[in-house]
A and B are shown apart, each in its own frame.
Chain A
Amino acid sequence: QVQMEQSGAEVRKSGSSVKISCKTSGKTFYDHAVSWMRQTPGQRPEWMGRIIPLHGKTDYAQKFKNRVTLIADTSTTTVYLDLSSLTSDDTAFYYCAREASASFDSWGQGTLVIVSS
């Protein structure tokens, strides 16, 4: 069973930033890309970007390009999402997911981020 273990819920003020972690297995870290999505209740998931941890190569959705940074830590096989300049529109569940065969075959449990003004 592939494990994607995410960090816990966060509460932030508008204008601040948040960093969410996604702990993966070694095999996932070195053999797969990891994508990040976010989702608000009743809405479809929204893809934010991906990272190939082995190389550190990233690809971001244009919408988030100026505010999102994805980082891979090889020492802990953990991937991080850093989102800056938060607004209330960023209140959502954030998910990491492993990419395999051009699909997301294993997801983290989700991290709730609440942004208050």
Chain B
Amino acid sequence: DIQMTQSPSSLSASVGDKVTITCRASQNIRSWLNWYQQKPGQAPNLLINGASRLQGGVPLRFSGSISGANFTLTINSLQPEDVATYYCQQSNDTPFTFGPGTKVDI
């Protein structure tokens, strides 16, 4: 199985800050990497697929990128409604696997 890691596991930032979350896979997953936001009591919500494709309706302050083996989710200008846990997920091969999550607080 492909193992996913994320860093940091949690962070606290201020409104307006730029936040960066990193995800790595245990093997090459090309661009088959998705990012989800999960708020308490809710199902995960897809933000970005294919490492960098922003989903419709997702604010433009969210972006995804690849640098080598590192995948990055960036939130430009953090907003109060962005308080959530963020998960990366690989779709290169089954079993699909998720990272452990990054909890973002303000």
**Residues of A bordering B, CB below 8 Å:** 35, 44-47, 50, 59, 61-63, 95, 97, 101-105, 107-110
Q: List, in ascending order, chain A residues with CB within 8 A of B43's CB.
A: 95, 97, 107-110
Q: Is B34 an interface residue (CB 8 A)?
A: yes
Q: Report the Cα distance A44→B55, complex, angstroms.
A: 21
The residue on A at minimum CB distance from B36 is A104
The 9 sampled A-B contact pairs (Cβ below 8 Å) are A44-B100, A45-B89, A95-B44, A101-B49, A103-B46, A103-B49, A103-B89, A105-B49, A107-B44
> When the two chains form their complex, are residues B98 and A105 in contact, meaning their CB atoms are under 8 A apart?
no
> When the two chains form their complex, are residues B46 and A62 in contact, meaning their CB atoms are under 8 A apart?
no
Q: List, in ascending order, chain A residues with CB within 8 A of B50's CB.
A: 101-103
How many A-B contacts are there with CB distance less than 8 Å?
A: 53
> When the two chains form their complex, are residues B45 and A107 in contact, meaning their CB atoms are under 8 A apart?
yes
Q: Name the distance in Å between A84's Cβ and chain B's nearest Cβ.
A: 19
Evaluate whether A35 and B96 lie within 8 angstroms (CB atoms) in the complex, with A95-B43, A110-B43 already known: yes
Q: Is B87 an interface residue (CB 8 A)?
A: yes
What mask results when residues 26 to 70 of chain B are scored 1 for a CB within 8 Å of chain A, else 0?
000000101010000001111001100101000000000000000
The residue on B at minimum CB distance from A45 is B98
> When the two chains form their complex, are residues B55 and A47 in contact, meaning their CB atoms are under 8 A apart?
no
What mask results when residues 77 to 101 of chain B are scored 1 for a CB within 8 Å of chain A, else 0?
0000000000101010011111111
Q: Report the Cα distance A76→B63, complex, angstroms.
A: 38
> When the two chains form their complex, are residues B91 and A103 in contact, meaning their CB atoms are under 8 A apart?
yes
Partner of A47 from the list B32, B45, B53, B97 (CB cut-off 8 Å) is B97
